[in-house]
Chain A
Amino acid sequence: MFESLEPYLAIFRIGIKDNLAYKTDFALTSVFRLAGSLVMLLVWTAIYLASHATSIGGFTLTAIYAYFFLINAVHYVIYSNIDEFIQDDVQSGSVASSLIKPIRYPLNLLFRTLSENALLIVVASLPLFAIVAAFYPLNLNAESIALLLAVVVIGNIVVMSLDFLIGSLSIYMTNIYGIMSVFWGVVSLLSGGIIPLSLFSQQTQSILFMLPFQLLAYTPASILLGTISYAQAIHALFFGAAWAAGLSVFAYFWWERSVKKVMSAGG
């Protein structure tokens, strides 16, 4: 078991080194990523000032700040770049070099993205989390942390399955930047990454809570803020787990089919 993981741990280590090869660039890119939260904060500040409301949908302005900082912190734990890796490998032709190695290409991609995520957690997620924890009373106890971990794991499975599904399209279409931008933009909206889901109408919410995207932003942030009950979080987890199971099986078969396409059309 551990011996078979040896190549992948090596891929993880070299991934860390590769990301840190240009440290200033990495540091500045990380700071720029944090700026993403600031844009949302400015937009929501403008909304609150224009509406003269102290609370919108149960969120005070401070709670909204905490919400967007938290979903950004969670983003680097849950999201991955596997779809971009696949597209780059297909475009550069290095998918062929990867397939002639005695390792599984999907695991190779997984550990490449884990190395990137590990660094982003250290330089982005943890500082963001610390900033929020310093200024806002977070719901941190054994139950909430256990729920958060479960949400993160299932959210990861959902994102990676979607990554493989979207990334595989590059095998058929070569350039999928447009598709990735549109798809992940829509996912961001449906996950509560732009507007908290509780601000949508009741009918829209009932649909959104049956989709897996809520696990990628709204649910984890709300667990930490204590704005949803444990029963609601478990309900979200239940739907998310069912989606994760279905999507991962579909992604597996879709991926196998796509690799055969590489092998019949040329790497």
Chain B
Amino acid sequence: MQEYAIEVKNVRKKFKAYEARRSGSFVHRLFRDKYYKRALRGVNFAVKRGEIVALLGRNGSGKSTLIKIMSGILYPDSGTVSVLGMNPWEERTKLAMQLGVVLGAHGQLYWNLPAMDTFALMQHIYHVPAKEFKERLNYLLGPLDLKDVYMRQVRTLSLGEQMKCNFVASVLHLPKLVILDEPTIGVDLPSKQALRNTILEMQRDYGTTFLITTHIVEDLTMADRIIVLDHGRKIYDGSRRRLEMLFGDKKVIELEFGRTVDLKKYLRFGSATKIEGNYVRLEVKQSVLKHPAFARLLANSAVADYSVLEPGLGDVLMKLYNKGGEKNVRKP
């Protein structure tokens, strides 16, 4: 058996896209201009069998394009892709039997029918024997808290319940590889945790490989590895721990001012990652906290409240995006 579930080598893809005209006469602005968008610019990575990998990136970074290429519904312009040892776009139907895909916004549930009807359809599409179908439903519906809702019309379910039902429909055939495009979008906190637990259980019980795109930092807790894309390029590939270490000896200080102050005095000691009204989130070196001048600034009567925090993954990711890659972050 091959060691890797996914191997992506030097994949490039550009799209023809259209943009509305912003200037000119009314008639001129009725037409659109064509341009080419480079969605992927030579992406390389591999995912081992049984691994959970989180694929991160800002909107438009190329995540969904990559997912479509790996699912076999989009050709790359160049490069090679192997998924479960198959070329996805040449062996699409064969690969589909071993693949489960949830494309966030594009649900596969029948809107007017109970989710159970879609589950039954999947049973027939993937030729799941009746006994196993029943067992798998029990395996998934209980932990995902869907037992009371799966017989109700999908249109009456909450967004979170729909997302969970979509997930169940995509994994009922126990695929070897599951690709999830933002699976926890719109899902409440307990359901998010239930989804994460189910993903970890499937990895443990069946050795399922997961590739998950997400914008939710908490989702990263289940990932063995994190890959970050930006502007069609891979800018990080490694563990969560290594990603956290990118912040080094930095701390985050949240400041709440009671009145308007000269922010320059504070920005001398670090860089602001967020300024919103009287709120400032400041990234500083640990040594700054012992600096007498900075201590005086914190004691200033203009500061209504402040707290010193360990940087979260969100802070690290923002820094990674802003600097354009791990190497740039590490530069002194």
Contacts and interface: CB of A to CB of B under 8 A. Distances in A.
Contact of B71 (A100, A262, A265): A100
Contacts, number: 84
B113 A94 contact: no
Interface in B191-231: none
Given A263-B73, A266-B74, A267-B68, A18 B112 contact: yes
Contacts of B123: 10
A100 B73 contact: yes
B99 interface: yes
A93 B121 contact: no
B57 to A, nearest CB: 17
B124 interface: yes
Nearest to A102: B96
A99 B92 contact: yes
B110 A96 contact: no
A265 B15 contact: yes
B105 interface: yes
B150 interface: no
Contacts of A18: 110, 112-113
A11 B97 CA distance: 17
B126 A102 contact: yes
Contacts of B126: 102
A21 B113 contact: yes
A123 to B, nearest CB: 18
Contacts of B72: 99-100
B106 A97 contact: yes
Contacts of A100: 71-73, 92, 96, 99, 101, 103
B106 A93 contact: yes
Contacts of B117: 14, 17
Q: Which of A21, A103, A265, A266 has the most C-beta atoms of chain B within 10 angstroms of its own C-beta?
A: A266
B113 A263 contact: no
Contact of B68 (A21, A96, A260): A96
Given A96-B68, A102-B126, A263 B75 contact: yes
Main secondary structure of the interface of B (DSSP, over half): mixed
Interface residues of B, number: 35
A120 B65 CA distance: 40
B15 A266 contact: yes
Nearest to B127: A6
B106 A101 contact: no
A97 B124 contact: no
B144 to A, nearest CB: 20
Given A22-B112, A96-B103, A264 B124 contact: no
A266 B127 contact: no
B106 A96 contact: yes
Interface in A1-19: 3, 6-7, 9-11, 14, 17-18
Interface string B230-264: 00000000000000000000000000000000000
A106 to B, nearest CB: 13
A176 B93 CA distance: 29
A107 B97 CA distance: 17
B127 A3 contact: yes
Contacts of B121: 7, 10-11, 14
Contacts of A263: 73-75, 89
Given A3-B127, A264-B74, A93 B89 contact: no
A132 B75 CA distance: 54
8 contacts: A3-B127, A6-B124, A10-B121, A17-B113, A93-B105, A100-B101, A263-B74, A265-B15
* A-B pairs with lowest CB-CB distance, top 5: A10-B124, A21-B112, A102-B96, A7-B125, A99-B73
Interface of B: 15-16, 65, 68, 71-75, 89, 92-94, 96-97, 99, 101, 103, 105-108, 110, 112-113, 117-118, 120-121, 123-127, 153
